[in-house]
Amino acid sequence: MNYYLDVLRKWKNFGGRSDRREYWTFILVNFAINIGLAMAEQMISPENSIFSGIYALFILIPGVAVAIRRLHDIGKSGWMQLIILIPLVGWIWFLILMAKEGESGKNQYGDHLRGTRF
């Protein structure tokens, strides 16, 4: 949960690096929150999804920022996120990049992180 909160605190930081653990913990917690919101919306008002929409807007910029930092960790530009626009193949390629181990040592985006393994 600390990784999720760290991502929210660093919402405007598009530089630097994020390791796999930080990125995937953010994705997992975000997924769990979305499931909880969907269940609550179905109980309250099945035809209205206002909570999910507000949450999606709230989490959009931190999500983009952590993905950019994750790409920096593997030595890629943040613009590589745009590969998800390629139908089917883009999403698979993006997932492979996000699962890849970060570069050891210093790269052009900053120092090596704590070397956590996931």
Please tell me the predicted confidence (pLDDT) of residue 80.
94
Helix axes 89-99, 20-44, angle to 10 degrees: 130
Count of domains forming the chain? 1
3-state helix, strand, coil in the chain (%, to 5): 65, 0, 35
Question: Whole-angstrom Cα distance, residue 78 to residue 30?
Answer: 21
For residue range 56-70, what is the model confidence (pLDDT) as tens digits?
999 999 999 999 999
Tokens for 67, please give them: 């993905």
Is the residue at 14 inside a domain?
yes
Banded model confidence at residue 114, pLDDT cuts 50, 70, 90: low
Tokens for 1, please give them: 């949960």
Look up the domain containing 30 and give its range.
2-99
Is the residue at 109 inside a domain?
no
Who contacts 1 (Cβ-Cβ below 8 Å, separation ≥6)?
A: 25, 29
